[in-house]
Amino acid sequence: MSIVICAGAAAGARAAETNDYPTSARADYVFGCMKVNGETRQALEQCSCSIDVIASLIPYSKYVEAETVASMNQALGQIGAMFRGANEAKGILADLRRAQAEAEIRCF
């Protein structure tokens, strides 16, 4: 019986790792995606699929970092230049871009 409990706990931990994105973050992504891709039922399904793929590829903490870097890249002046020039920021953003590309292939 303890084997089943351990296996169940391990499966639950894996599910928690792949589902660490809060509902509000997923909803924000879907709303933004639908604005770009049309406000249709098909866009809802594709955008929901897209954030699920992204969530399966990068943890939420890395997603937040990448979104912050992307936002700061658009800033003007010295602050924006610092983010655009930082190699670590480029790597974080590249991970998000790869996840988005995979989501595009799988969902659209």
Interatomic CA distance for residues 62 and 103, integer angstroms: 16
Give the N- to C-terminal CA distance of the chain in Å, as an integer.
44
Residues 6+ apart with CB under 8 A from 107: 46, 47, 49, 50, 53
Q: Check residue 12 and give its pLDDT.
A: 41
How many CB atoms sit inside 10 A of residue 103's CB? 22
Inside any domain, residue 90:
yes
Q: What is the pLDDT of residues 7-30, one digit of tens each?
A: 444 444 444 555 799 999 999 999
Q: Check residue 69 and give its pLDDT.
A: 81
Interatomic CA distance for residues 25 and 39, integer angstroms: 18
Based on the structure, what is the number of domains in the chain? 1
Contact at 8 Å (CB) between 83 and 44? no
Inside any domain, residue 101:
yes
Inside any domain, residue 16:
no
Inside any domain, residue 15:
no
Inside any domain, residue 87:
yes
Q: What is the pLDDT of residues 52-81, one digit of tens each?
A: 999 999 999 999 999 888 887 666 666 655
How many CB atoms sit inside 10 A of residue 76's CB? 7
Inside any domain, residue 9:
no
- Please, what is the average pLDDT of the chain? 80
Inside any domain, residue 1:
no
Q: Write down the pTM of the prediction.
A: 0.73
Range of the domain at 67: 21-107
Inside any domain, residue 5:
no
Interatomic CA distance for residues 73 and 83, integer angstroms: 6
